[in-house]
Structure 1
Amino acid sequence: MEYKQFLAELDAIAKEFPCEDTQYLNARELADREWLLAEMDAIAGEFPNENEPLAVTWEDIEINDDDSQPVPKEITSKTPTSEVHALLDMYANSPTIQTGLREANKIEAKTTDINCFELKPEFDNSDLNQHFKIKKPKITAVIDWLRLEIVVGESYNFKRPRKPYNDIKDFLKAKGINDNPYVVQSSRNKRTFTIDLHDVSTGSEYENILNLLRREYQPSSLKIIVLEVALDFWNINAKSFMLALAKSIRVGGCFNNKDLRVYTSDDWQFMPAKSETAMKYTQKCYTIGIGHKTQGDSYLRIYNKVQDRNKPLPPNQHRTRIEINLRGQMLVEWGDDANNLRYLTNKAFKLLKFTHLTDDATTDQTDEYRKLVKLFGEEVSIISKSRNKRNHLDHIKSHAKLNEVVAKSVGNFIRNF
């Protein structure tokens, strides 16, 4: 409703109490009249004069700096957008604002300490739950994917001998194993193929796949040559949590390359040493990597999972994921037969253990832990102050509480196998 129309309606109401007739009004009517006139004055004062443009004075938002540049004193509704943007940029770059941002970044960098995050799934507060919907942090374990190597029996005849991998793809689709299968034929042995399986969630599902492959192809060998397992951390939206995981993950000798890096499909960088700088990459959804993707027996990734197989996930499915990929001699030594998935999965998850800063760490050690991003959880062979052999520096120890929660999550998943 236009304010002029609104005032006109108030005027009409006010005519019920004409000024010349006030001598005939009783005390209550006089009080009502005075109240109405006061309300009209107050409301009219809230509407702008149509001859005056809306304006925001710069003093309303200005933070005075001794060395700040002079700026116009007001922005009106008629100020060009480009000029408004330029003024706001000048304001954002003022020394006081920049100093405040640097201090805020330092405070935020402290949250790269894993001790800042409470990850007990049993957290509950009945009083708060009466008024708020609290999404509790939780951890779940999954097999992200695995790669089977199958050597097809000599007696099996492919329908398309020149492209036998297409026969296997059709079989996987027809049996409901995979709607978009990835099958590769070996260049050294024409009867050897690799098949990728994703999101294997139960032992019965996996066993059914193996039985279908065995009945169809009578394989002379069926092995697991790549296994990737992951921990998903739900309802923790802080991007600094990725750095906290990277700093706390226990890194043993299975990684032939222990360089910390951040990357996307278009960029690759070594992890910045300072937490404030590293935070910029996690805010931009970079992935954190440890190890080498193709060399050695393992590599590890930490990232915010917002899509699956190149398709966006709904917001309620977003989570922070840490995953470890194992292959090569490590799986051979553990026993890479396809029937050994439960054992291999359990062994793989045991590599996802976490450390944290001890309560008696010195001020310098605490400052270093909070200010820097590096593999504080890397295993080293040292002699402690008490003359005992340790796998970590004196101010770093195993994160017993977090490891216990992870172990319960892994146990719940392994139970399905």
Structure 2
Amino acid sequence: MEIQQYMSPREREQVEKGTAELEAFMAELMSGNQSEPKITWDDIEIKDELPTTVVQGMSFHTACDVLDEYANRESIKQSVIEACKLEAKATDIKCFDLKPEFSNPDLSQHFKIEKPTITAVIDWLRLEINVSKAYKFKRPTQPYNDIKDFLKIEGINENPYVKQTSSWTFEIDLHDVESGKEYAEALNKLRHEYEPISLKVTTLEVSIDFWNLSAGAFLLALQKSVKITQLFENTDLRIYNGDGAKVMPRTATNAMKHVHDGKTIGIGHKTKGSVYIRIYFKTKDKGFDLPKDQHRTRIEINVRDEMLASMGNDADNLKHLANESFKLLKFTRLTDTATAKQTAEYRSNVELFGKEISVISKSRNRRKHPDHIETHSEFNKVISKAVSNFLRGF
């Protein structure tokens, strides 16, 4: 028995209409009155258009294709070029206003404005202690371990570095010296225990911290503007982290990539000469991650040996030694009268523009910098104030 599917009148009408149209088309086609239809690949290709955004659950391959397509758009390429130009301009130290009176009441009522602030610290110092020959060590063959134990017990240093350089001479490191009182107490304990013949500071590292200024461009701005004197044994620019040191790229855009990767800028030689500088974004302390609100940009100057000795490096002279060491951190800037060519060179290149050289100015006077580089008086005053505030505690 044949079973027929029921169709409504409307459905039957649509089927009959479609059948009639198909028969008419086939009749015309077979009659030869119509040219042969042309079918192209575009007519039958199944379009597989990429999504416009990367979304959760998307395959890794598709996500990469989306990002590649996005990055290759001409508008995006041009935007990246313009962004790089702006970032290069930001390596001019004049772009950063560090005046403490910075305030905007209209913005403050809607946003929490973290003001740029500057602080000075003694990062660490190395003491050379010449112990009295009358002193009796518990472990005569390992006297440095006796000193380590003493530093721990007395709370001077929980993880002490002690190096024996001769029979009765040792090197001791003190970190994060925050006040003169704390430092004097440490010296008194050492003198009471060891009755040293002499106590000298052989290495001193002081630092300037810039809070709420984490832009990579600011690190390059500091490097380009810092005044470099003949005290530096080697003024090659280096960029480094755990994988070793490399020569700093000369272009601002390439140098910025290294800075954004968390690398440190080094000026001078780490072991030769009396002075060297490091500039980096500090996110760790003693190997541990710092809370985000303690992240800051830091510039360190390490002074040692003959340079410290010339300042009078007796251990009791720390305030003077710190003050003189901080004075070695001075900054320059591009003059307002610099030509367009000089301005473009300053902003796009990574060099030690603050390096002192002997030149003859336009007025026929001998200068330590070219005419388009001058001392950054305002910036130096802000630094000096931070140093003065810190040394009040000594």
TM above 0.5, yes or no, is yes
1:92·1:98 contact (CA, 8 Å) conserved in 2? no
Residue 210 of structure 2: SS of its match in structure 1?
A: strand
Which residue of structure 2 lines up, in the alignment, with residue 107 of structure 1?
A: 86
Q: Does 1:370 align with 2:351?
A: no
* CA separation of 1:280 and 1:162: change in aligned 2, threshold 3 A: same
After TM superposition, give the deviation of residue 218 of structure 1 in Å: 0.6
CA deviations on 1:91-115 (whole Å, 9 max, x unpaired) are 1441513343222112211100001
Q: Does 1:72 align with 2:17?
A: no
Which residue of structure 1 lines up, in the alignment, with residue 14 of structure 2?
A: none
Distance 2:142 2:49 in 1: 75
Match of 1:181 among 138, 160, 181: 160
CA deviations on 1:317-357 (whole Å, 9 max, x unpaired) are 00000000011111111111111111111110001111100
Which residue of structure 2 lines up, in the alignment, with residue 128 of structure 1?
A: 107
- Does 279-288 or 105-114 show the bigger shift? 105-114
Distance 1:399 1:272 in 2: 25
Distance 1:258 1:285 in 2: 21
CA deviations on 1:240-291 (whole Å, 9 max, x unpaired) are 1000000000001110100011000113211111001100000001100000
Distance 1:130 1:153 in 2: 64
Match of 1:145 among 124, 147, 158: 124
Which residue of structure 1 lines up, in the alignment, with residue 257 of structure 2?
A: 280
Distance 2:167 2:384 in 1: 42
Q: Does 1:299 align with 2:248?
A: no
Which residue of structure 1 lines up, in the alignment, with residue 173 of structure 2?
A: 196
Distance 1:286 1:341 in 2: 31
1:273·1:372 contact (CA, 8 Å) conserved in 2? yes
> Map of 1:30-49 to 2, 5 A cutoff?
none
Which residue of structure 2 lines up, in the alignment, with residue 405 of structure 1?
A: 382
2:147·2:162 contact (CA, 8 Å) conserved in 1? yes
Match of 2:61 among 83, 103, 106: 83
- Does 95-104 or 374-383 show the bigger shift? 95-104
* CA separation of 1:78 and 1:372: change in aligned 2, threshold 3 A: closer
Distance 1:299 1:383 in 2: 28
After TM superposition, give the deviation of residue 407 of structure 1 in Å: 0.6
CA deviations on 1:42-71 (whole Å, 9 max, x unpaired) are xxxxxxxxxxxxxxxxxxxxxxxxxxxxx8
Q: Which runs of 4+ in 1 moved over 4 A?
A: 76-80
* CA separation of 1:79 and 1:199: change in aligned 2, threshold 3 A: closer
CA deviations on 1:296-320 (whole Å, 9 max, x unpaired) are 1111000000001111100000000
> Map of 1:190-339 to 2, 5 A cutoff?
190-339=167-316
Distance 1:388 1:212 in 2: 55
The residue type equivalent to 2:65 in the other structure is L
RMSD of aligned alpha carbons? 1.8
Which residue of structure 2 lines up, in the alignment, with residue 170 of structure 1?
A: 149
CA deviations on 1:139-188 (whole Å, 9 max, x unpaired) are 100000000000110110001111111111111111111111111111xx
Which residue of structure 2 lines up, in the alignment, with residue 39 of structure 1?
A: none
After TM superposition, give the deviation of residue 79 of structure 1 in Å: 8.4
Q: Does 1:360 align with 2:334?
A: no
After TM superposition, give the deviation of residue 74 of structure 1 in Å: 4.3
Which residue of structure 2 lines up, in the alignment, with residue 159 of structure 1?
A: 138
Which residue of structure 1 lines up, in the alignment, with residue 21 of structure 2?
A: none
Residue 207 of structure 1: SS of its match in structure 2?
A: helix
The residue type equivalent to 1:144 in the other structure is D
After TM superposition, give the deviation of residue 386 of structure 1 in Å: 1.4
CA deviations on 1:366-405 (whole Å, 9 max, x unpaired) are 0000000000001112221112222211000011111010
The residue type equivalent to 1:125 in the other structure is N
After TM superposition, give the deviation of residue 234 of structure 1 in Å: 0.5
- Does 144-153 or 122-131 show the bigger shift? 122-131
2:51·2:66 contact (CA, 8 Å) conserved in 1? no
Match of 2:363 among 386, 392, 398: 386
* CA separation of 1:285 and 1:403: change in aligned 2, threshold 3 A: same
Larger Rg over CA atoms = 2
After TM superposition, give the deviation of residue 80 of structure 1 in Å: 5.5
Which residue of structure 1 lines up, in the alignment, with residue 95 of structure 2?
A: 116
Runs of at least 5 residues in structure 1 that lack an aligned partner in the other structure = 1-70
* CA separation of 1:125 and 1:80: change in aligned 2, threshold 3 A: closer
1:358·1:397 contact (CA, 8 Å) conserved in 2? yes
* CA separation of 1:164 and 1:346: change in aligned 2, threshold 3 A: same
Distance 2:375 2:121 in 1: 23
* CA separation of 1:128 and 1:336: change in aligned 2, threshold 3 A: same
Percent pairwise identity? 55
The residue type equivalent to 2:85 in the other structure is K
Tell me the TM-score normalized by structure 2.
Answer: 0.85
